[in-house]
Amino acid sequence: MPIITKITTQQKNKERYNLFLDDGNGEKYAFSVDEGVLVKYQLKKGMELDDFLITEIHYDDDIRKAYNRALQYLTRRIRSESEVRTYLAEKEVDEPIIQEVIIKLYEYQFLNDEQYAIAYVRTQMNTTDKGTVLIRNELKEKGISDKFINDALKEYPYEAQLDKAKVLCEKSAQKNQKDSERVLRAKLEQKLIRKGFGFDIIAEAIEGTNLQRNDDGMEALSYQAGKLKRKFAAETGYAYEQKMKSALYRKGFSLEQIEAYFNQQEWND
């Protein structure tokens, strides 16, 4: 059986040790191990190693290396179990090794998907304008269970979601003053859907936003009509009027608003 002839400390990593063995053909470098593995197996000069023991040492050392790699990954920020599994798999760590690492991480409380979900919801609530639908989907992508997600989302109360949705509506309404009320309402709804708010929040937030115009929307209609005039500049008479009316109607203005606009134009002419 091979005999350990020398053990040296690695220059670049003082926590790893190089083992040299002699299998009857002279001393040569065999492999390196973590300090914890060295202590666990009480490896020392003159010790004989059979094939089974060498395999066991390699297995334990692979766990140590993967565990240390996972710890480095976790120091950057809190992670879910699924994220750690994916990270180690991308580093070509075998599944049995990954499973052992996950067990150790839970044992030493470096992993906790329940606390991860709570922290994630609080962070998104306090630093972003996302709704719970989007946050739920993101947590699902990170491998968090439905139970943990449901419990964590209790940290984001209805009123807090509604306040955030109302702020988004007010900002968007100010930005899109030149749109008809119908188009503006549709834009607000789509924006809140993209941000991940539920339909009950969306409906209440939009209803709580002042979409009414002091001029009954005529300023917005005049603005849109001005743009359309350039588009239909080559048209005249009845064809021009019909195309203008049709285009304005598609932009969300009512027939009453459109007729009022054209009557005003005729009066001015």
Give me the CATH number covering residue 198.
1.10.10.10
Is residue 44 domain-resident? yes
Number of domains in the chain: 4
Residues 10, 71 within the same domain = yes
CATH number of the domain bearing residue 263: 1.10.10
Which residues, listed in sequence order, are joined to residue 27 by a DSSP beta bridge? 22
Distance (Å, whole) CA 34 – CA 17: 6
Q: Is residue 93 part of a domain?
A: no
pTM of the model: 0.72
pLDDT value at residue 213: 55
199/223 same-domain check: no
The pLDDT assigned to 267 comes to 45
213 within domain boundaries: no
**Residue 58 maps to a domain:** yes
218 within 8 A of 257, measured Cβ to Cβ: yes
Domain that residue 139 falls in: 113-155
Give the model's pLDDT for residue 65. Answer: 94
Clarify whether residues 199 and 225 are in a common domain: no
**pLDDT tens for residues 169-188?**
999 988 887 787 888 889 99
Amino acid identity of residue 149, one-letter, is I
Q: How many residues does the chain have?
A: 269
CB 137 within 8 A of CB 148: no
Q: Which residues of 216-254 are buried (b: 16+ CB within 10 A; e: fewer)?
A: ebbebbeebbeebeeeeeeeeeeeeeeebbebbeebbbb
For residue 254, the model assigns a pLDDT of: 78
Whole-number pLDDT of residue 265: 67
Flag whether 85 is in a domain: no
CA 60 to chain centre: 34
- Asked if the structure places residue 136 within a domain, the reply is yes
Residues 237 and 255 in one domain: yes
Q: Could you tell me if 8 and 70 lie in one domain?
A: yes
**Residues 139 and 171 grouped into a single domain:** no
- Which pLDDT score, from 0 to 100, does residue 269 have? 43
195, containing H or E segment: helix 181-195
**Same domain flag for 189 and 238:** no
The residue among 167, 184, 207 that closes a domain is 207
pLDDT tens, per residue, the chain with 269 residues:
899 999 999 988 888 999 999 988 899 999 999 999 999 999 999 999 999 999 999 999 999 999 999 999 999 889 999 999 999 999 999 999 999 999 999 999 999 999 999 999 999 999 999 999 999 999 999 999 999 999 999 999 999 999 999 999 999 988 887 787 888 889 999 999 999 999 999 999 998 887 665 556 677 777 777 778 778 877 777 787 788 788 888 877 877 777 777 777 654 44
Task: Read off the pLDDT of residues 41-56 as tens digits, 9 standing for 90 and up.
Answer: 999 999 999 999 999 9
Tokens of 250: 């598609």
Asked whether residue 173 is domain-assigned, the answer is: yes
Domain membership of residue 163 (yes or no) is yes
Domain shared by 72 and 8, yes or no: yes
In angstroms, the CA 72 to CA 67 distance is 9
